[in-house]
Structure 1
Amino acid sequence: MSCSRRNFLTGAGAVIFTTGVAGTAVLNSRKTLANVEQDGNKLYGMIHDETACIGCTACTDACRDVNKVPEGVSRLEIIRSEPMGEHPDVEYRFTRKSCQHCENAPCVMVCPTGAAYKDEKTGIVDVHKDKCVGCGYCLAACPYQVRFFNPADGSADKCNFCRDTNLAQGKLPACVESCPTKALVFGDLNDPSSEINAVLNNQVVYRDKVHLGTKPKLYKIPKQKGEV
């Protein structure tokens, strides 16, 4: 399904599920990601486990610190749901809001200068800051509303999986490293043996607004299985 201007500007979100047998050790095993330059293209993706997230926002703090994100803007947000249940048995659902690193990225399609682009070697959607003219087309086109203007340099900005910071040093993204409950999994979707594929093959997951044809690379394990 292609992503046209018409379909990415339409309607509310949708979800897609893949089913599998729930794994027991998958989410508990953590491997160091060797993501320095290697032969073959990668396709980086991330999983946010809503059943493990406690809404502590350690991920947002780490992201801001490592990537020097100015006050007043954010590459990553943790959204808390309305209360579920009755006192004293009240629960909340925490979900991640950040760049989806779409395979068919609307922000890239509408950028008039080529500042917004998808790196074909990693699948990461990023910004050439020296090409950004601040037109705001990418901000308007993003169905997930996760882009912003960086007040420090005036260019479009967003999550890039810590490409210029942690990834450049062969480490996991700052949010993944800092999560105390291991609610985040990051890795290469093109690698059948990667941890992220192990989780995707053994958990129920969904993605936001897949009906738009964006093919997002941010997957979520729902707080409650079934309809989200």
Structure 2
Amino acid sequence: DLISPEILELARREAKRMLVGKRGGRTSCRQEDINRMMLGLARAGKRVVRLKSGDPSVFGRSGEEITALREAGIPVSVIPGVTAASALAAGATTSLTHRDCAQSVRFVTGHSKKGALPEDIDWRAIADPTTTTMFYMGGRTAGEIATRLIAEGLSPETPVLIASNISRPDERRWHGTLASLGRGMAEIGHDNPVLFGVGRVFAKTVAVSDRQALLPRYLKEVRPLPATVYNNSR
């Protein structure tokens, strides 16, 4: 559901595509049904590819799927991807662990299985000014997250960067402070996948509505090659 059409077009022509996307606040496939579908297809002798956006090992529920398949005796291999936090840093030409600003980086989920803010987060530990914290799936809880962090002592002026549709041509960003995080999230909206980072590394980050504006001209002019396999052997 979160994979761009250009990537889906790389699949084999005879491959059957099955939409099992999970979107916050919308009707989605249950994880149990996805596991059951993968098991059924694999047992029927099919080669199953569970295609995810970003890195499947970071908030991708791959652990549940791997366990279900292994318990059924089905071999599994995982291809690493680029998680949204890394893609955001690259697109914004920012280092998440710049040694002048941060000693560590932390990935935190913005909602629990129930859709609300997780109740077991150690907010005092997260409100560390020497750490860059990246919040996944926190669009609807952003205001509450800011309130919790400020209550634990993190400065309201701490820089924040929000991005939606990260690494795509229509990527949007908002740059501001922790105190105005809720307002920034309202401007970005919840219709597309969103991620936001909190920390001093974002102090000099440029927010743009179209990441193409930052690309060198020669990159903008690059066009994809036809889907043809060339054999250079003689």
TM-score between both structures, scaled by the size of structure 1 = 0.32
Which is helix-richer, 1 or 2? Answer: 2
Rg bigger for which structure? 2
- Relative contact order (C-alpha < 8 Å, sep 6+): which is higher? 1
